[in-house]
Amino acid sequence: MPSYDSSRARFRLADRHIAVFAHLLDGENPPDELWPSLGELMQIGLVGEEGELAPILRDLLVALAAPLMLVTIEVTGEHGALNHGVIVGQNAMIAHSAWPGEEESEYTPIAPHSLVWELARTVNLQADDEATSEVTRIETTMGALDAALSALDQGEGDEAATRDLIRKALTEAGTPEEPELNELTELVMAMNSMWRITTAWDGKHEGERVAMVRALAVWDCGPRGYWVREKPEEPIVEGQVGPESELLLVRTRNGKIWEKITDLLPDKEELIDG
């Protein structure tokens, strides 16, 4: 069920509610399958009896209708994959955050100067001063990683048995060799999440308007620190990566991760207004 907090102009909305707004903004009646969602929005006062939209929605809807930039944040952890992000409009920035097992995401306005902080907060970027690692680079294949993650799922809570299963899976995959083999085993064991931040906006290339995309993929391995996934190189096109694709992980301190997040954002002159 959708809801909103007028004191902070924040909303809890599912994708189907956003779809209702899109139809109403275009002057269309939502299709039959969205009528229950329309009814929920009317029940809490965000949509009127004639399909009029509540004034409190203005910043959110203007940003959704004409974004200058979209930031998507995919986080895969214990509860599966969650999608968060930020919509950057001309006059407002709206962050949206999902919650495990919930249909709705929370949409909240944020200050422009806090954008990098918001992205770092969403991926839970923490101090890593105590993180230690034997090696700083690990080269293997995506197939070996898939085998290691399958072994992790088979461990059933027995830490020693799980570690042995992961080592066995990586050894059978033929990569990597020691000491990287041990380090990758420990990274898989310690992993809190894998996350990826992608920024997309309309830019110019050789005088033409083109879609611009930058992305950063990171493993958060808790006590073993942060590892940037340099290969496969982001942004990845669907169907581009297979079992034989190279996987390159590079140990990266949290301060450098912050800089890499900042580098995902375009300069003002790189944006096309409208």
Residue 109 pairs in a beta bridge with 94
| pLDDT, tens digit (0-9, with 9 covering 90-100), for 128-175 | 877 777 799 999 999 999 999 999 888 777 889 999 999 999 999 888
Q: What are phi and psi of 192, to 5 degrees?
A: -85, -45
pLDDT of residue 267: 87
Please, is 69 exposed, middle or buried when counting C-beta atoms within 10 Å of its C-beta (0-12, 13-18, 19+)?
buried
Q: Are 151 and 166 in contact (CB under 8 A)?
A: yes
Structural domain harbouring 136: 123-274
Write down the residue that tokens 């990274």 correspond to.
187
45-59 burial, b for 16+ CB within 10 Å, e for fewer?
Answer: ebbeeeeebeeebeb
Q: Do 128 and 232 sit in the same domain of this protein?
A: yes
Co-location of 58 and 68 in the same domain: yes
Confidence class of residue 273 from pLDDT cuts 50, 70 and 90?
low
Same domain, 173 and 135: yes
pLDDT in tens, 79-90: 899 999 999 999
Predicted TM-score (pTM) above 0.85? yes
Taking the C-alpha atoms of residue 154 and residue 267, their distance in angstroms, rounded to an integer, is 46
Q: How confident is the model at residue 236 (pLDDT cuts 50, 70, 90)?
A: confident
What does the pLDDT read at residue 272? 74
The last residue of one of the domains, among 73, 105, 122, is 122
Domain boundary among 80, 104, 122: 122
Residues 89-117, mean pLDDT to the nearest whole number: 96
- The SS3 of residue 119 is helix
* Shared domain check, 142 and 64: no
Instruction: Give the CA angle between residues 226, 196, 100 to the nearest 5°.
Output: 100
